[in-house]
Amino acid sequence: MSWQNLKIAAGLTLLAWTMGQGGIAGTQEADNWLDDELIVTYRSAADGVRAKAARATMGMATLHTLANGQVQVLRLPLMMDALRARERFAADPDVVAVEPNFIRRRHAILPSDPLFFQQWGLRSIGQGNFATDDPALASVPGGDISALAAWDPAADGSFARAGRGEVVVAVIDDAFDVTHPDLATNFIGGADMTRCNGADCAADVAPENAAMAHGTMVAGVLGAAGNNGIGGAGMIWRVKMLPLKVGRVRRDEVILDNGSILRAYEYALEHGAQVINASYGGPNFSQAEFDAITRLNAAGIALVTSAGNFNSNLDESVAAYPANYDIANVIAVAATNRQDNIASFSQFGPLSVDVAAPGLQMVTALPDGQYISGERCGQGGLCGANGTSFAAPLVTGLAALLREQYPAIPINELRARLIEGADRGAAGGDVGQLTQGGRINAARSLDMPPQPAVLLRAVAISDDNGRLDFGEQTTLRLSLQNFWQHAHNLRATLHAPAGVQVLTPTQTLPDLASNARATLRFDIAVDHLAKPYQDLDFWLDLRADGGYAAQRPFRQTLAPLTPGQRAQAVLSEGLHDDFHTWHFTVAEARAGQKLQICARAEQDIDLLLNRGAPAQYDIELGRTSKAQGTYFSNADWRATGDETAERLTFDAQASTTYFLTVVNYTVAQALPYVVDLRWVDPTQGNDTLCPAPSSGGGATDPRALCFLLLLAAFKFKKIIVESMH
């Protein structure tokens, strides 16, 4: 079942059930929105007021009134679900859009059983990983966020820059222990967005049950009082944290619903918040949320959000919100591990994710005045907090320190300081390649003088399918935007990986003003590389007068398929290699025949096939049952059984490019697989089974037999110990 765009009237607007940007339909409805609530946007506030009587007649209750009455969050009467309710609004010309009340989920890797050491993310001096005595998994000296230098620039113990309590930071989360001894002095006010009567919301934000610990943990990373002799230290020691509770229990699960989150955005705006922490997300694009965050942006309020924990490249998978909203004030944060790399669970993206911060084995507060640390790890105690949820509040705390030091700082400069101040990470690591800036360096962001901040905003390929192909000569179009000071004599040099030749020399832009955009074009040639599937990492080296220098990474996939042939590759050769997206173009359709894709491995793999563009997805890997975790995709065709062989058969259209994503659902390490792409004739009955691994599928790669013998004998080892990465 899909939410479809409904035309209200010819030439007018759309009534959108928005599962993804541009009306992309999603799947798994029951998991992604509340089936008895709606969010309705009217043409004007007056239209919303006039519709009140009609809503009451239909038995609908108004839970929240937003945007001065233009947006309404409604509860539906019994016996009416959200799908049926859309028909009641379809004929109303005063309605701009109707969408479900999407569910947002907390981006936390819940504490597991590895041992934990104290706050290495604030000061990393080689502390051992208490889950193992393997020195390779100890903290890398210097792989922290330079918190001490940020707090105490004079190095005299005065901690003059650790926070003066002047900045209001709204923390939107499930619930909060506002009496916690390490947090109480930094909490102000607060409201429960799930219990509002008009403009009045309940003041009690305490957890309703033990499962509502997330908000307290996030608040501890952000704003635990420092230098007070108890607990740990937050990123900012004195701050006005505004706790906004959006968690409620639904079917024995703690959820964060979008209607309550929207009310929290509005409450934060009305109560003077300067920064918002949003450690949550979900796969569904919400127009109402996009508009609300745009209003926050207009007010100069930064929204720092977690990138997510499903280990996908957000440049490719897209479906993660609010992290992937293209709004200047949205700052997306990945998590790093003790080795100063992107953590094994963290989502990433050199274009989509701004910065990273430590998000593994974090010491922080728990409800009832407790703490989560490594003191009793392995002895029945908790072993630390893991997740991008706990990386984001470090960045939020730094944003608050920037607001305190530079009270008039605009959004673009704040974002520029975070990105330009970041470290590229440990030598040989990936944090600088998988995010726009790298791992945050608090001291450098606070101290750096004004300079340009030229960011890479988009990459496009000038060919017929938008992807790289073997033997191809094409043009890369790189879109830049300068977020800070004027750049004079900007020089740009493209560096390509082995097997790709850059044919265009260094390019120069005489001037790129603050907030100005420009597009650079680089001609490249792709060799006939031996490896059939490759993620190619590029660097754009930027230099300008005055000593400005920056490196902007981006990634392109080289993975062409050919109808009638077989391809073979290996999933999860590294930490961030669980999704492979291939492409193929059908030049001519064959009368009476269909295209069939057969993929085989020794572990459970899934297939997502989409026409015209890669499928968007947000998939929680490794769950015992796919019905239990998040499994979202907008793919045109899917094969998602619990199988080691998957098949898709479809009518292929001529002159069309298709994109096939292969998913390593079990997260098996170094998982070989093969893909056959062949024409089949349904009347001959050859479309119901995949060909045997040693034959069929058209032209056979001469290496396939050896490869499949290796596949059959391969010993797989599944290792998912996030606290060890």
Active site amino acids: 173, 214, 389
Nearest Cα residue to 675 out of 658, 654, 661:
661
At residue 538, the 3 state secondary structure works out as strand
How far from 570 is each of 346, 671, 707, CA to CA, in Å? 21, 5, 10
Q: Using CA atoms, how far apart are residues 38 and 31, in angstroms rounded to an integer? A: 15
Q: What are phi and psi of 388, to 5 degrees?
A: -65, -20
Residue with tokens 């630390």: 384
How far from 724 is each of 118, 136, 233, 579, CA to CA, in Å? 15, 10, 23, 22
Q: What are phi and psi of 458, to 5 degrees?
A: -160, 155
Residue with tokens 């650079």: 520
CB atoms under 10 Å from CB of 127, counted, come to 18
Q: Using CA atoms, how far apart are residues 537 and 555, in angstroms rounded to an integer? A: 5
Residue with tokens 């509770």: 245
- What residues form DSSP beta bridges with 342? 336
**CB-based contact 556:520 (threshold 8 Å):** no
**CB-based contact 708:694 (threshold 8 Å):** yes
Cα torsion 43, 47, 48, 50 to 10°: value is -170
Helix axes 411-420, 388-405, angle to 10 degrees: 120
Query: What separation, in Å, do the N-terminal and C-terminal C-alpha atoms of the chain show?
Result: 39
Pairing of strands 191-197, 240-245: parallel
Task: Enumerate residues 6+ apart whose C-beta is below 8 A from 589.
Answer: 651, 652, 653, 654
Structure tokens, 144: 């922290």
For 173-223, give the DSSP string.
ES---TT-TTTGGGB---EEEEEEETTEEES----SSTT--HHHHHHHHHH
Q: What are phi and psi of 168, to 5 degrees?
A: -95, 120
Q: What are phi and psi of 716, to 5 degrees?
A: -100, 145
Q: Based on C-alpha coordinates, what's the Rg of the chain?
A: 26
How far from 550 is each of 432, 486, 573, CA to CA, in Å? 11, 15, 29
Residue type, 366: L
At residue 136, the 3 state secondary structure works out as helix
**DSSP structural state of residue 32:** H
Q: Report angle CA 508, 511, 514 to the nearest 5 degrees.
A: 130
Nearest Cα residue to 103 out of 194, 22, 192:
194
87 alpha carbon, distance to own chain's centre: 33
Altogether, the residues listed in the chain come to a count of: 725
Q: What are phi and psi of 460, to 5 degrees?
A: -135, 150
Structure tokens, 453: 């901040």
Q: What's the per-residue H, E or C state across 389-451? A: HHHHHHHHHHHHHHHHHCCCCCHHHHHHHHHHCCECCCCCCCHHHHCCCCECCHHHHHHCCCC
